């Protein structure tokens, strides 16, 4: 009896990029079976994306280097296949749907691959509708892709792949830019696809989120090699809970054996006597809209005080970035006023406000330009007319905090995305503004790195207040002493984390999904009196 | 992600009542025809077509206000510059008839600035304004009136091969995307205390100081292009003849529009060859200031 070959067999696969030293992946061997979700986890730079590119054929076609070993799809080696052949068997959803979507309308986007294969129109329409119906998004068919929410974009990207009827789907960090509810929707769709018999390989940092859809197996990679490949229950036994975000109960169990983590003293430069002084930032009935008739922010009233560590939560497109851009004066209110350090932002330039309030943008590629990391970091302080000696110190300290001291002389644009993100944060840290505002500082970062730099940033002596936008509820629970929920341009909630985050119905209504750590913290709140990280809960 | 121009379906829009291919052909005929003339009497005909297209386009003033103010400002600036310096018009006229001469009351290193207002310079400025505004109005209307979802099939329908047609589609959408990225980079650098308006020093120094804007915008454009290429490769782009999902069909009025466009272009070329349409000034004025 002849058995059907497996959808995917990877044998002794190694690859080294032509322009980089050392192998990106080394001697990888594994298989994927029909109907399985294989979660691939690991820190930034561990070789996950390289592996995906080797399987989908972009390596060696678009990215050159030395490749050895083989990738077999249904028993056939794909090395000599055309990309069009591969794309009919293997579909790839990239990290950011924004970077994958080409069509202006959903129907065109989903049909793109089928058009390229020269299929008859009737067949294309039928497959497009089939894919949209399967993902329960037929209502998006004639919408413009530009106006879709993050979660909708990700599903449309998935539908575009699905329409080509692949047997294997590769997802490269599909949740990175999504709010928790959109991430959940995407994951449900992925589970549904696996249940239909497709093989799914999903690279993802948000391991805990993926565990909810019960992946059949997990692969843990480190330095280009497979460190673990097996069922989910074995993962928490072999990986370091500081490297991969595991469910809170697992961390508590593991952390009991380790010494208690050091207590984080946020904003050490702020003493309790200063807390009652004037507000650092004040929003007075702020409303804003890019176009005259469409209002995005409605009647925002709040103060940012000394000692505040504020997490801003809310769905994709809720107006969070628009809100924080008012704090630095990049946007001016249509009505109402914003005061920073007592000055109306209408009467101060952004450069003047930057001395008071440092703002880290979401995407590092929009700001990095200098030939070396050191010069990149010196740019802000130089603009602020800091002295040479001061700048030297500020740059060194910022590099230490983001753990990039050894990259001081490297060109920032040659670094990995995660490292670039850290450079962009360091560039603002070096300016030593009194207030730090960060827009999704942890997006695209691996768990260990972002926890480390969040720890360091909070313990920097120079800041009087910190505000960060995030989709990560745990980040808000662990680090913030105040949580804002913004939804549909309105401030829905403003209070202590233990007050705002305990109302699960309100969280869900605002596309925020409670996590295991949040639930555990609430359960133990009477004993702890505040929210803590899982490692700390293990010792209470 | 590529940003679309601010297109929307508009009620009773004259432009949108045509097949986009027909309008693009008409537009190209209009453009080349306008370029054959300097005679303001002929140019007024094209100006009238442009104004008619604008008024009947269904595009609201508040949508195009910024674009038009920018273009009108630019046209005025260069018009006035040509008028003041007298440069630029010398290819189309040889003689000048002085209306009035203004001599500055000061000298710079022995040179006294003189402004000569001549009949030719004045009419050249008017002709230039009418000519450029006609073309600008027709060009600005395109992104507001043509459906971005049909860019590809429009270029394909105009005879371009699949790859070129899709490349044109992407290029058309790349322009507003580039604008958005430029704004984002400006904002990110301003948040680091960078002030474009305060750039000083010599030319080389000034160009160097534009680095914080130019480098990220360029790099971002390159990275985005690579992403687009990957996304296209992964969905089998360019492997063979492709099916275009949308279908465009010419109607009688589209054919009429194309015929009118071709007729105007042919007539313009003919008139040009026959020596008509060259720079013109009213003889009355010439005689008055001879």
pLDDT tens-digit readout, B25-76: 999 999 999 999 999 999 999 999 999 999 999 998 888 888 888 888 888 8
Mutate to test the interface with A, among B245, B246, B247, B248 (most CBs of A within 10 A): B245
Q: Are residues A325 and A212 in the same domain?
A: no
Q: Are residues A175 and A223 in the same domain?
A: yes
Give contacts of B243 with chain A, Cβ < 8 Å.
Answer: 114-115, 118-121, 124
**How far apart (Å, rounded) are the C-alpha atoms in residues A117 and B245?**
12
- B1 within some domain: no
**How far apart (Å, rounded) are the C-alpha atoms in residues A356 and A337?**
17
Inter-chain contact A368–B195, Cβ cutoff 8 Å? no
Residue A103, chain B, CB below 8 Å: the answer is yes
Beta-strand pair A217-222/A199-203: unpaired
Report the residue from B185, B231, B239 with minimal CB separation from A94. Answer: B231
- A423 within some domain: no
Beta sheet of A343-344, edge-to-edge order: A297-304, A281-288, A335-340, A343-344
Domain count, chain B: 1
Q: What is the pLDDT of residue A273?
A: 58
Report the residue from B227, B229, B234 with minimal CB separation from A92. Answer: B234
> Looking at CA atoms only, how far is residue A237 from chain B in angstroms?
37
A135 three-state secondary structure:
coil
- B204 within some domain: yes
> Looking at CA atoms only, how far is residue B258 from chain A in angstroms?
27
Beta sheet of A90-93, edge-to-edge order: A90-93, A168-172, A199-203, A37-42, A217-222, A225-230
Residue of chain A nearest B237, judged by CA positions: A116
Inter-chain contact A104–B234, Cβ cutoff 8 Å? no
Residue matched to tokens 């001395």: A355
- A440 within some domain: no
Inter-chain contact A100–B241, Cβ cutoff 8 Å? no
Give contacts of B230 with chain A, Cβ < 8 Å.
Answer: 58, 62, 94
pLDDT in tens, B207-218: 778 889 999 999
Residue A317, chain B, CB below 8 Å: the answer is no
Give contacts of B170 with chain A, Cβ < 8 Å.
Answer: 102
Q: Which residue has the higher pLDDT, B6 or B88?
A: B6
Q: Are residues A186 and A272 in the same domain?
A: no
Cβ contacts below 8 Å, chain A against chain B, sum to 163
Q: Are residues A192 and A297 in the same domain?
A: no
Give contacts of B191 with chain A, Cβ < 8 Å.
Answer: 328, 330, 350, 354, 358-359, 361, 428
Mutate to test the interface with A, among B149, B188, B199 (most CBs of A within 10 A): B188
Q: Residue B80 sits in which domain range? A: 15-288
Domain boundary among A239, A272, A295: A239
**How far apart (Å, rounded) are the C-alpha atoms in residues A96 and B230?**
13
Residue A380, chain B, CB below 8 Å: the answer is yes
Q: What is the pLDDT of residue A220?
A: 94
Q: What is the pLDDT of residue A45?
A: 79
Taking all residues of chain A, what is their mean pLDDT, rounded to a whole number?
90
Residue A375, chain B, CB below 8 Å: the answer is no
Residue of chain B nearest A92, judged by CA positions: B234
Inter-chain contact A116–B237, Cβ cutoff 8 Å? yes
What are the pLDDT tens digits along chain A (540 aa)?
A: 557 899 999 999 999 998 778 889 999 999 999 999 999 998 877 899 899 999 999 898 888 899 999 999 999 999 888 887 898 899 999 877 777 889 989 999 999 999 999 999 999 999 999 999 988 899 999 998 888 877 788 889 999 999 999 999 999 888 887 888 888 888 999 999 999 999 999 998 888 889 989 999 999 999 999 999 999 988 888 888 888 888 899 899 889 888 888 888 888 878 765 655 668 999 999 999 877 678 889 999 999 999 999 999 998 888 898 999 999 999 999 999 999 988 999 999 898 899 899 999 888 888 999 999 999 999 999 999 999 999 999 999 999 888 888 999 999 988 877 788 889 989 998 998 889 999 988 877 888 888 888 998 898 877 899 999 999 999 999 999 999 999 999 999 999 999 999 999 999 999 899 999 999 999 999 999 999 999 999 988
CATH of the domain at A535: 3.40.50.300
Task: Report how far apart, in Å, the C-alpha atoms of A517 and of each of A27, A37, B159 are.
Answer: 36, 24, 60
Q: Residue A484 sits in which domain range? A: 263-349+470-540
Inter-chain contact A113–B235, Cβ cutoff 8 Å? yes
Mean pLDDT of B194-222: 82
Residue of chain B nearest A57, judged by CA positions: B234
> Looking at CA atoms only, how far is residue B195 from chain A in angstroms?
7
Is residue B157 exposed (0-12), middle (13-18) or buried (19+ Cβ within 10 Å)?
A: buried
> Looking at CA atoms only, how far is residue A288 from chain B in angstroms?
17
Mean pLDDT of B166-171: 91
Which of A204, A58, A39 minimizes the C-alpha distance to A71? Answer: A58
8 A C-beta contact, residue A329 and residue A340: yes
- B3 within some domain: no
ipTM above 0.85, yes or no: no
Calculate ∠ Cα A60-A9-A92, nearest 5°.
55
Q: Are residues A212 and A309 in the same domain?
A: no
**How far apart (Å, rounded) are the C-alpha atoms in residues A274 and A95?**
44
Q: What is the pLDDT of residue A218?
A: 95
- A31 within some domain: yes
Give contacts of B148 with chain A, Cβ < 8 Å.
Answer: 104
Q: What is the pLDDT of residue A52?
A: 94
Q: Are residues A47 and A127 in the same domain?
A: yes
Give contacts of B6 with chain A, Cβ < 8 Å.
Answer: none
8 A C-beta contact, residue A313 and residue A494: no
Which of A238, A237, A251 minimizes the C-alpha distance to A533? Answer: A251
Residue A363, chain B, CB below 8 Å: the answer is yes
Residue B27, C-beta contacts closer than 8 angstroms, at least 6 positions apart: B138, B139, B142, B261
> Looking at CA atoms only, how far is residue A102 from chain B in angstroms?
7
Which of A296, A312, A212 minimizes the C-alpha distance to A489? Answer: A296
- A493 within some domain: yes
pLDDT band at B1 (very low <50, low <70, confident <90, very high): low
Residue of chain B nearest A362, judged by CA positions: B188
- B9 within some domain: no
Name the DSSP class of B108: B
Which of A540, A513, A518, A453 minimizes the C-alpha distance to A248? Answer: A518
- B232 within some domain: yes
Residue A196, C-beta contacts closer than 8 angstroms, at least 6 positions apart: A35
How many angstroms from the chain centroid is the CA of residue A504? 23
**How far apart (Å, rounded) are the C-alpha atoms in residues A78 and A71?**
6
Inter-chain contact B234–A56, Cβ cutoff 8 Å? yes
Residue of chain B nearest A380, judged by CA positions: B192
pLDDT in tens, B131-160: 999 999 999 999 999 998 899 999 999 999
Q: Are residues A157 and A33 in the same domain?
A: yes
Q: Are residues A231 and A272 in the same domain?
A: no
Which of B151, B152, B158, B127 minimizes the C-alpha distance to B261? Answer: B158
- B7 within some domain: no
Is residue A271 exposed (0-12), middle (13-18) or buried (19+ Cβ within 10 Å)?
A: exposed
Residue of chain A nearest B182, judged by CA positions: A366
8 A C-beta contact, residue A540 and residue A527: yes
Q: Are residues A174 and A268 in the same domain?
A: no
Inter-chain contact B231–A355, Cβ cutoff 8 Å? no
Q: What is the pLDDT of residue B262?
A: 97
- B65 within some domain: yes
Residue of chain B nearest A366, judged by CA positions: B185
Q: What is the pLDDT of residue A153?
A: 87
> Looking at CA atoms only, how far is residue A22 from chain B in angstroms?
23
Inter-chain contact B237–A56, Cβ cutoff 8 Å? no
Q: What is the pLDDT of residue B131?
A: 93
Inter-chain contact B193–A99, Cβ cutoff 8 Å? no
Q: Are residues A154 and A213 in the same domain?
A: yes
Does the pLDDT at position B2 exceed 70? no
Give contacts of B241 with chain A, Cβ < 8 Å.
Answer: 118
Q: Are residues A208 and A268 in the same domain?
A: no
Strands (E), A33-106: 37-42, 65-73, 76-77, 90-93
Domain count, chain A: 2
Inter-chain contact B4–A124, Cβ cutoff 8 Å? no
Residue A170, chain B, CB below 8 Å: the answer is no
Q: Quick one: tokens of B149? A: 């979802």
pLDDT in tens, B277-287: 888 888 888 88
Give contacts of B231 with chain A, Cβ < 8 Å.
Answer: 94, 99-102
- A182 within some domain: yes
Q: What is the pLDDT of residue B3?
A: 67
**How far apart (Å, rounded) are the C-alpha atoms in residues A517 and A535?**
10
Q: Are residues A302 and A229 in the same domain?
A: no
Inter-chain contact A114–B243, Cβ cutoff 8 Å? yes
> Looking at CA atoms only, how far is residue B214 from chain A in angstroms?
8
Q: What is the pLDDT of residue B4?
A: 66
A285 three-state secondary structure:
strand
Write B154-160 long-range contacts (CB < 8 A, 24+): B154/B20, B154/B21, B154/B24, B154/B248, B156/B244, B157/B21, B157/B248, B158/B21, B158/B24, B158/B25
Residue of chain B nearest A436, judged by CA positions: B191
Residue A414, chain B, CB below 8 Å: the answer is no
Residue A67, chain B, CB below 8 Å: the answer is no
Give contacts of B246 with chain A, Cβ < 8 Å.
Answer: 108
> Looking at CA atoms only, how far is residue B36 from chain A in angstroms?
37
Q: Which of residues 130-149 of A touch B (CB under 8 A)?
A: 144-146
Residue of chain B nearest A431, judged by CA positions: B192
8 A C-beta contact, residue A170 and residue A52: yes
> Looking at CA atoms only, how far is residue A87 from chain B in angstroms?
6
Report the residue from A58, A104, A117 with minimal CB separation from B236. Answer: A117
> Looking at CA atoms only, how far is residue A391 from chain B in angstroms?
14
């Amino acid at each position: 009896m002849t058995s059907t070959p497996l959808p995917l067999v990877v044998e002794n696969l190694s690859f080294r990029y032509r322009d980089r030293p050392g192998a990106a992946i080394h001697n990888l061997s594994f298989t994927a079976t029909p109907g399985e979700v294989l979660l691939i986890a690991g820190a930034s730079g561990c070789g996950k994306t390289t592996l995906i590119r080797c399987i989908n054929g972009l390596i060696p076609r678009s990215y050159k280097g030395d490749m050895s070993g083989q990738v077999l799809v249904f028993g056939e080696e794909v090395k000599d296949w055309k990309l069009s052949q591969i794309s009919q068997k293997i579909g790839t959803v990239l990290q950011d749907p924004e970077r994958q979507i080409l069509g202006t309308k959903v129907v065109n986007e989903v049909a793109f691959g089928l058009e390229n294969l020269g299929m008859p129109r009737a067949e294309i329409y039928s497959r497009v509708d089939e894919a949209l119906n399967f993902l329960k998004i037929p209502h998006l068919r004639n919408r413009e892709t530009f106006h879709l929410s993050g979660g909708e974009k990700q599903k449309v990207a998935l539908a575009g792949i699905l329409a080509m009827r692949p047997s294997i789907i590769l997802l490269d960090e599909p949740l990175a830019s999504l709010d928790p509810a959109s991430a959940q929707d995407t994951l449900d769709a992925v589970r549904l696809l696996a249940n239909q018999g497709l093989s799914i390989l999903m690279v993802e940092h948000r391991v805990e989120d993926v565990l909810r859809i019960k992946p059949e197996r997990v692969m843990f990679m480190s330095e280009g090699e497979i460190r673990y490949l097996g069922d989910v229950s074995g993962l928490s036994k072999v990986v370091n809970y500081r490297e991969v975000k595991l469910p809170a109960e697992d961390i508590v169990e593991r952390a009991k054996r380790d010494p208690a983590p050091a207590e984080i003293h946020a904003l050490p430069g702020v003493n309790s006597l200063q807390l009652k002084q004037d507000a650092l930032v004040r929003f007075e009935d702020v409303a804003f809209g890019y176009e005259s008739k469409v209002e995005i922010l409605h009647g925002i009233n709040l103060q940012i005080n000394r000692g505040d560590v504020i997490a801003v939560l809310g769905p994709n497109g809720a107006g969070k970035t628009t809100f924080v851009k008012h704090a630095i004066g990049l946007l001016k209110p249509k009505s109402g006023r914003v005061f920073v350090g007592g000055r109306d932002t209408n009467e101060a330039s952004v450069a003047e406000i930057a001395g008071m309030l440092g703002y880290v943008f979401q995407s590092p590629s929009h700001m990095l330009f200098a030939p070396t990391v050191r010069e990149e970091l010196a740019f802000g302080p130089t603009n602020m007319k800091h002295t040479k000696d001061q700048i030297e110190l500020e740059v060194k300290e910022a590099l230490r905090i983001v753990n990039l001291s050894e990259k001081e002389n490297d060109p920032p644009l040659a670094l990995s995305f995660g490292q670039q993100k850290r450079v962009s944060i360091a560039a603002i840290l070096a300016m030593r503004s009194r207030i730090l505002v960060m827009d999704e500082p942890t997006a695209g970062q691996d768990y260990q790195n972002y926890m480390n730099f969040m720890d360091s940033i909070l313990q920097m002596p120079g800041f009087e207040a910190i505000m960060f936008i995030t989709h990560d509820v745990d980040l808000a629970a662990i680090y913030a002493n105040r949580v804002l929920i913004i939804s549909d341009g309105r401030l829905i909630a403003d209070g202590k984390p233990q007050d705002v985050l305990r109302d699960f119905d309100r969280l869900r209504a605002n596309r925020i999904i409670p996590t295991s750590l949040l639930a555990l913290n609430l359960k133990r709140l009477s004993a702890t009196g505040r929210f803590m990280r899982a490692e700390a809960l293990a010792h209470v | 992600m590529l940003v679309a121009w601010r297109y929307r379906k508009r009620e009773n829009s004259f432009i949108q009542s045509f097949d986009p291919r027909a309008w693009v052909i008409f537009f190209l005929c209009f453009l080349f025809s306008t370029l054959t003339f300097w005679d303001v009497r002929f140019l007024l005909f094209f100006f009238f077509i442009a104004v008619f297209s604008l008024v009947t386009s269904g595009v609201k003033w508040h949508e195009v206000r910024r674009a038009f103010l920018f273009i009108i400002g630019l046209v005025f600036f260069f018009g006035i510059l040509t008028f003041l310096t007298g440069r630029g018009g010398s290819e189309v006229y040889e003689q000048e008839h002085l209306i009035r001469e203004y001599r500055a009351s000061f000298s710079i290193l022995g040179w006294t600035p003189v402004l000569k207002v001549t009949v030719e310079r004045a009419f050249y400025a008017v002709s230039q304004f009418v000519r450029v505004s006609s073309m600008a109005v027709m060009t600005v209307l395109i992104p507001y009136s043509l459906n971005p979802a049909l860019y590809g099939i429009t270029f394909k329908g105009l005879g371009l091969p699949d790859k070129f047609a899709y490349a044109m589609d992407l290029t058309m959408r790349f322009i507003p995307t580039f604008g958005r990225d430029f704004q984002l980079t400006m904002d990110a650098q301003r948040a680091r205390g960078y002030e474009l308006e305060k750039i000083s020093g010599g030319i080389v120094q000034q160009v160097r100081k534009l680095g914080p804007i130019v480098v990220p915008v360029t790099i971002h454009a390159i990275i985005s292009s690579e992403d687009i290429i990957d996304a296209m490769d992964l969905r089998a782009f360019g492997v063979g003849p492709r099916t275009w999902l949308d279908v465009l069909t010419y109607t009688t009025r589209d054919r009429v529009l194309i015929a009118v466009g071709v007729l105007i272009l042919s007539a313009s070329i003919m008139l040009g060859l026959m020596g008509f349409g060259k720079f013109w000034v009213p003889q009355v004025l010439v005689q008055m200031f001879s």
